[in-house]
Amino acid sequence: MTTADTLAAAAAATEAAPRERGATVWLTGLPSAGKTTLAFALAEKLRAEGHKVEVLDGDEIREFLSKGLGFTEEDRHTNVTRIGFVAEKLARNGVKVLAPVIAPYARSRAAVRARHAEQGAEFIEVHVATPVELCSERDVKGLYAKQAAGEISGLTGVDDPYEAPESPELRLQTQGRSVTESAAELHAFLSERGLA
């Protein structure tokens, strides 16, 4: 075989290699619903299977990409559309993007969905549908207690809006289920769609 033949064969093999299918999996839900926990559990499973995965966690994004933004309706919308912009860029390049971000407004989620559709990237909305009563018991960051004590206001689902998705691709119940069970349910859903 000549060098040219070898290069041509290598190029053909590269072309024939199956492309990894990217997608954005957005986990929306109330504070303490289980979004971050499930995103990291799912990320671990997907990575073990050899997928390229990025987690764009709401809290981390607010320290960097969205530093300076607050919690008004407009700032929350901007935060979500920025995350959606980055997610779409990664998703169209074969990355499974997991976005555990409250995203309280339907219009923000719709904007992210529309952008993905325009760019031909897959968008999967998962509603982590833990009831507010259970979220406030879990109260991982102590926000529900602070709101109840009058120390803070504007807590999503309590004294700030949360517009639950009407027709998400998946609605996950976490009450009465372990993290492992909920993560398995989410993973099974992605498998059905040929993404895991």
- Binding-site residue numbers for ATP are 29-36
Of the ranges 12-20, 33-41, 129-137, 177-185, which one interacts with Mg ion (CB under 5 A)?
33-41
50 burial type by CB count under 10 A (0-12 exposed, 13-18 middle, 19+ buried): exposed
Of the ranges 64-72, 89-97, 134-142, 144-152, which one interacts with ligand ATP (CB under 6 A)?
134-142
* Contact call for residue 36 and Mg ion (CB under 5 A): yes
DSSP 30: S
Give the shortest CB-154-to-ligand ATP separation in angstroms. Answer: 13
Identity of the residue, 46 or 156, whose beta carbon is nearer to Mg ion in the bound complex: 156
* Contact call for residue 156 and Mg ion (CB under 5 A): no
Could you tell me where the beta strands, DSSP code E, fall in 37-167? 53-55, 96-100, 123-128
* CA nearest neighbour of 35 among 97, 122, 128, 166: 128
Site for ligand ATP in 36-95 (CB under 6 A): 36-38, 58-59
* Contact call for residue 100 and ligand ATP (CB under 6 A): yes
Tell me the one-letter amino acid at 62: R
Q: Strand order of the sheet with strand 96-100?
A: 53-55, 96-100, 23-28, 123-128, 170-172
Give the shortest CB-35-to-ligand ATP separation in angstroms. Answer: 3
Give the shortest CB-68-to-Mg ion separation in angstroms. Answer: 20
Work out the end-to-end distance of the chain between its first and last CA atoms, rounded to an integer number of angstroms.
39
Cα 13 from chain centre: 33
Of the ranges 90-98, 117-125, 177-185, 188-196, which one interacts with ligand ATP (CB under 6 A)?
177-185
* CA nearest neighbour of 86 among 75, 99, 73: 99
> Residue numbers of the site for ligand ATP (CB under 6 A)?
29, 31-38, 58-59, 100, 102, 138, 140-141, 174, 177-179, 182
> Residue numbers of the site for Mg ion (CB under 5 A)?
36
